[in-house]
Amino acid sequence: MSGPLHADTVRTLRAWTAPDDEEELLRRDYLDHLEARPEGVWRSCRPAHITASALVVDVERGRVLLTLHPKVGLWLQLGGHCEPEDATLAGAALREAVEESGIASGLTLYPAGAPAPVKLDRHAVRCAGKDQPENTHLDVQYLVLAPPDAVERISEESLELRWFGYDELPELTDRSVRVLVARAQKLLG
């Protein structure tokens, strides 16, 4: 059941240089997961699977677009499960950003031409209903740049969608989002 997305995810993670020891361990764990599970990029893979997410950034205004996640109750970057039509992990992150932001055109992966992950994060969630067991998301996080005239539109996957200044993140964010925003701010100047 492995295919182009699995191969791209392995290539992406092998090429990525982790910024610290903690994420290097995650990178290795993700690669071990993919080696052991050809279906490791799909939602159906238990007890863990790869997910792709994107922090949408408006560089000109120094702000990020976050969603109030209905299952988690926190403000998070956009993202989710890989789909059969996804050929690349970066493409999956961009697709999720478009779907969840409602910004129909102009979103671009960073860096242009050679998008690379910015951060890895492992977290437990319930992918289905409350009666389902927890599953672990092995999240690969990208930056997506928004055009200056971007207008967001809330999707059914969000309770709320809102722009926040780099230094004005809401209380209901976790450490992972704060680190992701700080990395974005540093990378994008």
- Tokens 């309770």 locate to 159
Rounded to two decimals, the pTM is: 0.94
**Residue partners of 78: CB distance under 8 A and separation at least 6:** 53, 54, 55, 56, 65, 67, 96, 97, 100, 101
Strand pairing category for 108-110 and 135-145: antiparallel
pLDDT (tens, 9 = 90+) of the chain, 189 residues, equals 579 999 999 999 999 999 999 999 999 999 999 999 999 999 999 999 999 999 999 999 999 999 998 878 899 999 999 999 999 999 999 999 999 999 989 999 999 989 999 999 998 876 655 556 678 999 999 999 999 889 999 988 778 999 999 999 999 999 999 999 999 999 998
Give the relative orientation of helices 4-15 and 89-101 as an angle to the nearest 10 degrees. 100
Phi/psi for 187 (5° steps) reads -65, -40
How much is the pLDDT for 69? 86
How much is the pLDDT for 159? 85
**Residue partners of 177: CB distance under 8 A and separation at least 6:** 66, 74, 75, 76, 77, 169
How much is the pLDDT for 166? 96
Buried b (16+ CB within 10 A) or exposed e, 55-89: bbbbeeeebbbbbbbeeeebbbbbbbbbbeebebb
How much is the pLDDT for 88? 97
Quickly list H helices, 17-111. 21-36, 89-101
Give the relative orientation of helices 21-36 and 4-15 as an angle to the nearest 10 degrees. 150
